[in-house]
């Protein structure tokens, strides 16, 4: 899975691809993200192009979160579609993830926590 990345203010921003993140590709997503996050203590995942996510997709995102946190880093997400936001609300992901509306807000929060 091809993922676009950028680094802004020493923060790795990963752009999730414009696909549904579900059981058909969750493992591929997780495997593609894992090498990207190595060595980065601040990671932001942009989900704005993900229209649908099921429990397997959510599990893949949680796996990425756990790897970042185990390495002593901070993890944020932004750009949730209404459908993905509803899933996050249903399973109360706001208790786990630092969720933002847009990239600027997510980046600003990384600067505050340094």
**3-state SS, one letter per residue, for 36-61:** HHCCCCEEEEECCCCCCECHHHHHHH
- What is residue 30's three-state secondary structure? helix
The model carries a pTM of: 0.93
CATH number at residue 83: 3.30.750.24
Residue 76 CA to residue 43 CA, distance in Å, equals 6
Domain carrying residue 68? 10-100
Mean pLDDT of the chain: 93
Compute the distance between CA of residue 52 and CA of residue 107 in angstroms, rounded to an integer.
24
Q: Considering the domain boundaries, does residue 4 fall inside one?
A: no
Helices H / strands E in the chain, number of each? 4, 5
Asked if residue 73 belongs to a domain, the reply is yes
pLDDT digits (tens, 9 = 90+) for 1-57: 889 999 998 999 999 999 999 999 999 999 999 999 999 999 999 999 999 999 999
Domain count, the chain: 1
């Amino acid at each position: 899975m091809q993922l676009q990345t950028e680094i802004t203010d020493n923060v790795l921003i990963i752009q999730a691809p414009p696909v549904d993140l579900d059981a058909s590709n969750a493992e591929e997503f997780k495997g593609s993200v894992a090498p990207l996050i190595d060595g980065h203590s601040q990671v932001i995942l942009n989900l704005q192009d993900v229209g649908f996510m099921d429990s397997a997709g959510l599990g893949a995102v949680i796996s990425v979160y756990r790897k970042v946190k185990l390495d002593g880093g901070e993890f944020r997400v932004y750009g949730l579609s209404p459908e993905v936001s509803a899933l996050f609300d249903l399973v109360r992901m706001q208790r786990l993830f630092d969720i933002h509306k847009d990239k600027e807000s997510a980046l600003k929060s990384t600067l505050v926590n340094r």
